[in-house]
Chain A
Amino acid sequence: MAQAQLPLDTPLSLPEHPKAWKWYDYFTFNVDHKVIGIQYLVTAFIFYLIGGLMAVAMRTELATADSDFLNPNLYNAFMTNHGTIMIFFWVVPAAIGGFGNYLVPLMIGARDMAFPRLNALAFWLNPPAGALLLASFLFGGAQAGWTSYPPLSTITATTAQSMWILAIILVGTSSILGSVNFIVTIWKMKVPSMRWDQLPLFCWAMLATSLLALVSTPVLAAGLILLLFDINFGTSFYKPDAGGNVVIYQHLFWFYSHPAVYLMILPIFGIMSEVIPVHARKPIFGYQAIAYSSLAICCVGLFVWVHHMFTSGTPPWMRMFFTISTLIVAVPTGVKIFSWVATLWGGKIRLNSAMLFAIGLLSMFVLGGLSGVTLGTAPVDIHVHDTYYVVAHFHYVLFGGSVFGLYAGIYHWFPKMTGRLLDERLGILHFVLTFIGTNLTFLPMHELGLKGMPRRVAMYDPQFEPINLICTIGAFVLAFSIIPFLINIIWSWNKGKIAGDNPWGGLSLEWTTSSPPLIENWEVLPVVTKGPYDYGIEQHKGSTDEDEDEEE
């Protein structure tokens, strides 16, 4: 052990620090991980609203078969930026930057991240990147979809497309810097009394996420830099008529963007693993299985990207390899799902908003995962390629998965962040509207896809109109579901019931400090004496000294 044990009767006195941050501290270059976490969450949520409005506009357009609400260029721009914003400016920053920054140091008993200033820098790359992306609308908006495949991206709206690229490179940089921070923090800054097998599962998930982001994001940057040169400097990396090749872009793009799917879901899996045992009052089932399956997803996830390119002239042996590797990812994911279900089994379940969102996630993620397995097999994929089946699949995973998980996390940790409880009735209303809206919007899309409606179009064959109308109604329900949530957040932040330090009776370290936590998290660092999920277990099995040795 690197640290000295002090006599018990002399609690360590802190240097004169204020006890809590003032509101205006949240608008400054603050280096505290909790401030940065909330800055990430709030910024990301604003982008979520912007991206959501774009989605509503698109669904309004799609309510009828004609193009009568948005003109095609604007539709393309909305479609491109909706996808980009939701992925790069909402789910990834909220899950990794927001929850990760807020929770990781609290969960491992550290006073801050390993590199606080780097952390603040990583956050402050986000707002300018978002502004750049939105400013691209002044130049017509990027038109080529969130994947921005050349040659489409090199011939349409070139200024807007360049701005799109620079915005993505900026958030990518932010993501890499954040990952460096998380890896070093989790690796080195655990409180000495915490063994690796007492590390909360959220931290395991963040470790896997960060490794994945660290390895995959720079490859996307390389691909985008080449695209930037193609658009602006007359090179021909992706121009077949001059010796280039468009498929190279797809490889570089999907080498990041498939793992990005796991970047968006692994932290959510971490949130699930925290929320479910607390509200089921049971030890989590299969701690090690969940921890290792995160790492397994991280490794296997790097070898599946070609399943996005089954129709890009990929040779059959490659299709075979990537079909198999894609299906293998379903195994560790299934392990997690079974662990959560087994945790729920026979638990004293509290059906509050956080738990409702977690269970909602479970049900919908299973559906999204299954349609993912069908899509991962080359023969089915070739049939439904670029139809609404794909749209249905990834919205089930990303909305039914990631967004539900983010909501579950917000309901679960809001008391810790603000010291006040969210209102349960509004929370349940929010859940019910969101659950109905999600299924109403995205379930019929499977049918649309199987019938052959192409994605990314503003006009379609009138035979698809009735189903599209249902989807559009669902989208409006989803849009309205935000209202009780917003009211809840704003009202409860000011007037909500005082939560106390540990309203849910959680055992992980973040619940041992006050709500909201002190500026340096604890007056005296906590000591870990039992695992984070030992609900109903009186005494920890006993720990041995040799577990500490990798800490040096």
Chain B
Amino acid sequence: MQGTVDSQATAIAVDHAHEHPDFRVLGLLVFLISESLMFGGLFAAYLLLRGMNEQWPPEGTEVELLVPTINTIILISSSFVIHYGDVAIKKDDVRGMRQWYWITAAMGAVFLGGQVYEYLTLGYGLRTNVFANCFYVMTGFHGLHVFVGILLILGVIWRSRRPGHYNAHKHTGVAMAEIYWHFVDVIWIILFTLLYILTRF
């Protein structure tokens, strides 16, 4: 393919308009590596604190399981729901995509509502003890990510009003919202295991 011309630039390459391919999905994936390490830092701090404290969680700060479990089921199922949206847009079905994305956003909102309900009914606050510190900061931080995810989904829905904005061949934004949503889900699974399940057993 090469090797005959010298390096002082003869005409090669490309139609200018298509020269800059779309790397947004790749960029998002790389960025999410970074995000997961931020959560990784919080998890590491949590595990170290857990190892250094005799009683974990300390008395009076037992975690509630019922609401969070329901919440977890809702959040994990929403990952399937959003995937149907992605499948729909790949079949050029914008209506279907919007529908599934609306449902996902609603499930995310229910999850956040459940989290707020949990905060209000737990009986201990951010400052109670170091377990409570971890609990609120970590779940709160994750909640913030869910919130951002909902905004992304609503953004996709907003943009899809314009006919032809998303179609079977052009759906990067849709895919990115989905990837981000899956990421938030995966983090929640680790968080749920650490904060809820492993404190019970």
Contacts and interface: CB of A to CB of B under 8 A. Distances in A.
B48 A248 contact: yes
Interface string B1-19: 1111111111111111001
A12 B12 CA distance: 9
Contact of B7 (A187, A233, A242, A530): A530
Among B6, B15, B27, chain A packs the most CB atoms within 10 A around the CB of: B27
Interface string B113-142: 000000000000011011101100100010
A11 B1 CA distance: 19
A138 interface: no
Interface stretch (A143-151, A218-226, A268-276): A218-226
Interface in A195-249: 214-223, 225-226, 229, 233-237, 242-245, 248
A112 B16 CA distance: 13
B34 A217 contact: yes
A176 B20 contact: no
Interface in B36-84: 37-42, 44-45, 48-49, 52-53, 58
Contact of B34 (A111, A180, A244): A180
B172 to A, nearest CB: 13
B3 A252 contact: no
A191 B39 CA distance: 36
Contacts of B19: 111
A294 interface: no
A529 B1 contact: no
Contacts of A251: 44, 48
B198 interface: no
Contact of A243 (B16, B24, B26, B130): B130
A60 interface: no
Contact of A244 (B9, B31, B37, B130): B130
A248 B133 CA distance: 14
Nearest to A7: B11
A471 B3 CA distance: 56
Given A233-B126, A242-B130, A526-B8, A176 B3 contact: no
Contacts of B10: 8, 524, 527
Among B24, B34, B134, chain A packs the most CB atoms within 10 A around the CB of: B34
Contact of B129 (A191, A242, A245): A242
Interface string A107-125: 0000110110010000000
B21 interface: yes
B84 to A, nearest CB: 29
Given A3-B14, A237-B130, A252-B44, A507 B7 contact: yes
Nearest 9 Cβ contacts at the A-B interface: A222-B41, A218-B38, A243-B130, A219-B41, A235-B133, A526-B9, A218-B37, A234-B127, A193-B2
Given A4-B15, A235-B126, 8 more contacts: A6-B12, A12-B16, A115-B24, A187-B26, A188-B23, A244-B49, A527-B12, A529-B4
30 contacts: A1-B1, A4-B14, A111-B19, A112-B20, A115-B27, A176-B31, A181-B27, A188-B23, A214-B37, A218-B37, A219-B40, A222-B40, A225-B141, A226-B137, A233-B127, A234-B126, A237-B49, A237-B134, A242-B130, A251-B48, A252-B44, A507-B7, A526-B7, A527-B9, A529-B3, A529-B5, A529-B6, A530-B7, A545-B1, A548-B1
